[in-house]
Chain A
Amino acid sequence: MAEKPTPKLTRTTLSVLMFIALAVAVSSFPAFAQRDVDVPPPPLPPHPPLSIRGPLVPAPPRTPRPPAPPQAPLLSSLDAFHVDLDLDPIVDVDDDLGGGADEKGERRSDGRLSVDELIALRIHDVTPEYIDEMRATFPDASLRQIASMRMHGVTTAYVRGMRAAGVQVRSSRDAARLRQMGVTPAFVKQLAEAGYRNLSVRELTRLAAAGVDADFISDLEKYKDKKR
């Protein structure tokens, strides 16, 4: 009696099932395991002791340190927090614009702008209109100083706003510093409301750079009178 042939559908189903089984088996091998599944790494073996070249000899007895001088109590004065955030190098306009030197570091003898200066002015999008606008506020500003202000996003409106908030913005350098550190009229007003009025440009930029704002001051106020 002839054997009954396996129906086609059953044979296909068997093939598919075998394929799936094979795929599952293969994927379970480490080399084929799915890479993007976040599997925690196996625990590391205990770290071997640090190797020491030569025989282990006991360390010579340490000379006792002299007693440290008594430290000034924390929070006793603002000087304890004095961190000199001198921002001048950050806003060194001459460095930003190549200081009038050309590619070889030579200044042009004809007094014309160097190639580096021209490129700096161009890439910072210094336009004649912007120069006129800023010179209306700072008449003596050089092109380098104007480029620095442009680079940091100083506008006449910003300078007006800062002056209206009581800040004495005397020079283009002051304006560039304040803007670079993110000092805004709102920031100045907040500090004034927290009791810090008539701050200098340097103080404002240091506070902003260090992240001291009205919230921080208000938080610290709670501890001002607490005995340590």
Chain B
Amino acid sequence: MARSALLALTLFLLATTAAADIEGGWTAQYNPRVGKLHLMMNRSATSQMWLSYTLDELPGLTHAQIESATQVPVTFRLRPDAGTFAFEGTFRNGRGGGQMTFTPNRGYASRIRALGLQLEKGDDAELFRFAALDVSLAYLREMRAIYPETNLRELSKLKAVGVTPAYLRDMRAVGVHVESARDARKLAGSGVTPSFVRELADAGYRNLSTRDLSRLAATGVDSKFIDDMHRKHKH
């Protein structure tokens, strides 16, 4: 009898632990110049994520609240495919902070499997990461259509550096054919944008390889620097 009760209690505790939401904190700062809110979520002392959102991506939060001269309470939510973030806290003069609760969507894992992909651990922490990066099922489908051999880990990295089907289309339009997901990640991760490619082309540097583009962007060589150096260059 006692043993059965102990077993039942253990199972109950395991079940409640598995179903528990993830609690954490958040701080945010609004950048009016780019019209984005830079949001930092932390679920432990060592796990932090910095993300940027436009206000229309954050239902429940208004510009008036963010820029309020006095401290105002706020609640807002984010609903990516992998779960729901509920934020509570305050804002004043473009800065805010408070508590955050993440409720994982456990159906996400099975829907990912249906796409032929597999989460590594499938635990709540992994769902938190995919939710924070907003790795949506639609995104995975589109990117898999472009790079069919890419695994979920690489796809999440692509999302983290901002590689989207639109980015790849725009790069192709300026003459850069991004053959692999790895190249795409390097380009976007180094800050290569279609306008950067155009600037270089205007400065006389056309048909550069993805490697050269990444290296130039990563080291901060831009059209102004090229122009400065060529004015001083003696052939």
Contacts and interface: CB of A to CB of B under 8 A. Distances in A.
A115 B211 CA distance: 11
Given A103-B209, A103-B211, A119 B229 contact: no
Nearest to A119: B219
Interface in B193-208: 204-205, 208
Contact of B215 (A113, A115, A126, A127): A115
- The B interface is mostly helix, strand or loop, or mixed, namely helix
A73 interface: no
B62 to A, nearest CB: 43
B226 A118 contact: yes
A128 B230 contact: no
Contact of B229 (A102, A110, A115, A143): A143
Given A113-B229, A113-B230, A122 B221 contact: yes
B204 A110 contact: yes
Nearest to A117: B229
B96 to A, nearest CB: 38
Interface residues of B, number: 21
B220 A122 contact: yes
A111 interface: yes
Contacts of A102: 212
A118 B229 contact: yes
Given A103-B209, A103-B211, A118 B232 contact: no
B219 A123 contact: yes
Interface in B208-235: 208-209, 211-212, 215-216, 219-221, 225-226, 228-235
B231 A118 contact: no
Nearest to B220: A122
Given A112-B233, A122-B225, 18 more contacts: A102-B212, A103-B211, A113-B229, A113-B230, A115-B205, A115-B212, A115-B215, A118-B226, A118-B229, A119-B221, A121-B229, A122-B220, A123-B219, A128-B231, A140-B234, A142-B234, A143-B229, A143-B234
